[in-house]
Amino acid sequence: MVERYALEPLKSLWTLKAQYERWLEVELAVVEAYEQIGIAPKGTAEEIRKKAVIDVDDILATEQVVDHDVIAFIKSVTKNMGDEARYFHYGLTSSDVVDTANSLALVRATDIILESMEKLSVVLYEKALQYKTLPTIGRTHGVHAEPTSFGLKFLSWYAELLRDIERLKIVREEIAVGKLSGAVGNYANISPEVEKIALGKLGLKPTPVATQVISRDYIAHLLATFALIAGLIERIAIEIRHLQRTEVLEAMEPFKEGQRGSSAMPHKKNPILCERLTGMARLMRSYAQVAFENMALWHERDISHSSAERYILPDSTMTIYYMLEKVRYIIENMKVFERKVLRNMNLTNGLVYSQRVLLALVEAGMSREEAYLLVQKFALECWESGEPLQDKLLSEKRVLDLLGEAKIEELFKPDYYLRNVDSIYARFDKKAD
Query: What Rg do the C-alpha atoms of the chain give, in angstroms?
Result: 30
How far is residue 25's CA from residue 73's CA, in Å, rounded to a whole number?
13
Q: Does 141 qualify as catalytic in the annotation?
A: yes
Q: Does 423 qualify as catalytic in the annotation?
A: no
Q: What is the DSSP string of 72-131?
A: HHHHHHHTT--GGGGGTTTT--HHHHHHHHHHHHHHHHHHHHHHHHHHHHHHHHHHHHHT
Backbone angles phi, psi at 146, to 5 degrees: -140, 160
Q: How far is CA 166 from CA 114, 233, 397, 425, in A?
A: 10, 16, 57, 20
The runs of H, that is alpha helices, within 270-345 are 272-293, 304-333, 338-345
**Which three-class secondary structure state does DSSP give residue 251?**
strand
Length, in residues, of the chain:
433
**Which three-class secondary structure state does DSSP give residue 146?**
strand
- Residues 6 or more apart in contact with residue 114 via CB below 8 angstroms: 165, 168, 169, 172
Q: Which residue in 12, 89, 191, 262 is the catalytic one?
A: 262
Q: Which residues are catalytic?
A: 141, 262
